[in-house]
Structure 1
């Protein structure tokens, strides 16, 4: 039996066991789902470590295990700006906003990030606008389905279309059963597996595993022998739209600050048992979240080790494991990569379903209905139906896969980030932030992202770099938020104190949420 065949057989065995485990957790989550709120948030149900594993797993998508290593394989060490900077931006943003999201969600019964923003500013426009803008996250979902299909193709020899459908069916089964409970329980298991593999890849890179002579220096020499500009002495790649300069790297960092409160991540804060556990939860997220992006080092190692060029750079991690390890270990990677993909996909799909079930149906069309029990039943049904519809839409859009997963998913994310920065990130820290400033920031942020990304603003040409477009638009949206707020009346004192509590002293604008 050849090595390729052995890997495929072990991959099938482990994959069946893994999928069975995920469906079991889906059933377990269903038993804990009694109403629409449970389906949407799993409110106050999990401790800091379980939830922390779920959050870092959701953050580290298929792009982390395939897209970023693929860029490292193609470009070399200069591409490591992405895995180094993005966790600092994301988890730094979480430190700023998680407490407000958790406290407001618990205090007012909010279920989604658009609903929390609408409550913060007493604005139906912001709530509905953010909900509609969240539809752009379908691009993110598609990127995960594509990553899963590539993994199945590489490790198990499946046809691409069949692989997409297998992923979709598994997601559909366990998410329609348990919603957020199934999402969090499966993500916690997946996060643990992902951390183990990321630590293994880090060890392999540091020791130069598979490279003659061993050590990082040998890896660097082997990389430069194949691509002279890919070594660690090349900090930036001239004229590259993403890694061309220190300024572009800085914009990449700025672009990720609001990432931690995107709907599929921010709503997970609501599942924490109580606010006293926030410090442990966030500390765990920061540490574990810094480890997972080290998967990109596997792309560097793959460039050093693999002799034959890959037809698709995103295949580098599966190809590296097949080259260096026995079939069982290489097949185990297929499970872990699928974990990364499912852990992001399921959170995205649940939050996407709540656009229809909560933000549009419950809070808009049914807000004046007096039969709350009926509204809750309908919201639960709509949430489950929307899960199926979202997955089917994602499958249809996956038929023509993008060249780079890491870039493609940002087509939808960038506008969402620009729209959220002022209303949520600044609004979490600044009591003075008001409705007029938030609305202006939201509108300007979204429009400026679209214009900048399409190179329609003079002297801000980003040449298809969504990180730079998001970074610029976040700067613009933040400036608008501050200026418009200062030029308009504050929100009613009663509403502000209802949100933040009484000011501790009149000389500070710092919210009690950040103390």
Structure 2
């Protein structure tokens, strides 16, 4: 069998398997709640793999290795070390309380959770609208996947963009959360296998001397703080911002709402353990940035590092072409595993937290959820049609703004048992969003993680001051953890 025939058979087989899993999901989806968070009958291990695959998608597998390629060890520590610690800390701190309040209120989205916690529809609507910023991550994934498709098939990137969009949207439209969870489990297993293979095969480029190899590229390249980098050059930009922003990113709707898939608090330990173990393995994909630089691959654009490295590494031999097909399909699956999660969360959020509060329950939620998916797809393609040079930074601008706005309301909502005045959390959310965008877009802070961290710290300071000033306020509010 020629590599060309093998390629089409593999792609066709993968597509048929995904559609079959989505059909199974469609049979179990009978309501907008089932479409959004399932029926709470999934294994915590399945949910953990689903979440790890969602967190470690196109950003980790396709885009972020480009930052490591360009900026060196400092970028690896920012995403791989500080980011991993942020993920672990967020789940240890937030999971139990968020699940408890989510179960008490039957919330299926972050804005709905905010409404039940603070009992204010206007604040919930504010969160629903700013959660639309996560569409910037949809754009990142669409662009990343389209780059991979161009390495697999002889098509232009815009054609590849449409192909990716139609495939993912079609299977998510069928099964919602169950399609997302079932397909992510398959994709997560494929991602684990490919991560191990690529990590082992590329380690030869260090020639037994990890730091020495990096320092030969440049003194700053092998340093924890890279003085030559405009993004990762000191403790704040490498460690603190990586930790704080990743902690806050766990509050994204397609991530934290995975907690609501769990049956009960007894599943939390298995869920967190699976997520952290699988997610830590996925972080090894960042090493491709080092491998590409050490192997001398000629890369025209930072976002294409992974594609060019794989073509360089595997396209020169017959067996390599077979391996390359499987790897490209797996990396596509990595992107789709997050894209479908964001789409499910966005559609559920728009229906539950914007359409129903404004138009009433007369709208069929399940039908509307699927129409919203179509709308999100159209907007995503428009934004991805002519993407900015560094799609990773573009996505971070929007998603980190959402994280900066979300941290205080969700963190305080989980950890603080007493009534919290609305002005405390609303003010913190506004400070987080506006200060991040102001610093990044107009204040000369090039790294969105740094601007978001400044914004989060300012929002946290405002929120803590508010809690102190209102410490003697009577607890006459029905919401609480």
TM-score range, shorter chain: over 0.9
Tell me how far apart the structure 1 counterparts of residues 419 and 405 of structure 2 sit (CA, whole Å): 15
The reply on whether 1:284 has 2:271 as its aligned counterpart is no
Deviates more, 1:8-17 or 1:274-283: 8-17
Q: Per-residue deviation at 1:91?
A: 2.8
Counterpart in 1 of 2:317? none
Q: Per-residue deviation at 1:189?
A: 1.2
1:45-444 alignment runs, 5 A limit? 45-81=41-77, 82-206=79-203, 208=204, 211=205, 215-217=207-209, 227-229=217-219, 231-232=221-222, 234-238=223-227, 240-249=229-238, 250-305=240-295, 307-325=296-314, 326-366=320-360, 375=363, 378-432=364-418, 434=420, 435-444=422-431
Q: Per-residue deviation at 1:109?
A: 1.2
Tell me how far apart the structure 2 counterparts of residues 406 and 450 of structure 1 sit (CA, whole Å): 16
Tell me how far apart the structure 2 counterparts of residues 9 and 363 of structure 1 sit (CA, whole Å): 52
Tell me how far apart the structure 1 counterparts of residues 74 and 105 of structure 2 sit (CA, whole Å): 46
Tell me how far apart the structure 1 counterparts of residues 392 and 473 of structure 2 sit (CA, whole Å): 40
Q: Count residues with an aligned counterpart.
A: 473
Q: Per-residue deviation at 1:353?
A: 1.1
Q: Could you list the runs of 5+ residues in structure 1 that have no partner in the other structure?
A: 501-515
- Conserved? CA contact 2:417–2:480, under 8 Å: no
Tell me how far apart the structure 2 counterparts of residues 239 and 421 of structure 1 sit (CA, whole Å): 32
Q: Per-residue deviation at 1:255?
A: 1.4
Poorly superposed stretches of 4+, deviation over 4 Å:
6-9, 219-225, 489-492
- Conserved? CA contact 2:42–2:262, under 8 Å: yes
Give 3-state SS (helix, strand or coil) of 2:250's partner.
helix
Tell me how far apart the structure 1 counterparts of residues 436 and 221 of structure 2 sit (CA, whole Å): 33
Pick the aligned partner of 1:24 from 20, 23, 38.
20
Q: Per-residue deviation at 1:364?
A: 3.9
- Conserved? CA contact 1:7–1:156, under 8 Å: no
- Conserved? CA contact 1:70–1:313, under 8 Å: yes
Q: Per-residue deviation at 1:395?
A: 1.1
- Conserved? CA contact 2:225–2:234, under 8 Å: yes
Tell me how far apart the structure 2 counterparts of residues 7 and 64 of structure 1 sit (CA, whole Å): 27
Tell me how far apart the structure 1 counterparts of residues 365 and 45 of structure 2 sit (CA, whole Å): 30
Q: 1:333 to 1:241 in 2, by over 3 A?
A: same
Tell me how far apart the structure 1 counterparts of residues 165 and 107 of structure 2 sit (CA, whole Å): 29
Relative to the length of structure 1, the TM-score reads 0.87
CA RMSD of aligned residues (A): 2.2
Tell me how far apart the structure 1 counterparts of residues 338 and 473 of structure 2 sit (CA, whole Å): 36
Q: Per-residue deviation at 1:48?
A: 1.2
Q: Per-residue deviation at 1:231?
A: 4.6
Q: 1:425 to 1:205 in 2, by over 3 A?
A: farther
Q: Could you list the runs of 5+ residues in structure 2 that have no partner in the other structure?
A: 315-319
- Conserved? CA contact 2:297–2:308, under 8 Å: no
Counterpart in 2 of 1:481? 463
Counterpart in 2 of 1:447? 434
Give 3-state SS (helix, strand or coil) of 2:263's partner.
coil
Q: 1:491 to 1:21 in 2, by over 3 A?
A: farther
- Conserved? CA contact 1:77–1:235, under 8 Å: yes
Tell me how far apart the structure 2 counterparts of residues 69 and 119 of structure 1 sit (CA, whole Å): 40
Q: 1:7 to 1:483 in 2, by over 3 A?
A: farther
Give 3-state SS (helix, strand or coil) of 2:230's partner.
coil
Tell me how far apart the structure 2 counterparts of residues 184 and 351 of structure 1 sit (CA, whole Å): 13
Deviates more, 1:345-354 or 1:6-15: 6-15
Q: 1:400 to 1:13 in 2, by over 3 A?
A: same
Deviates more, 1:281-290 or 1:196-205: 196-205
- Conserved? CA contact 2:68–2:289, under 8 Å: yes
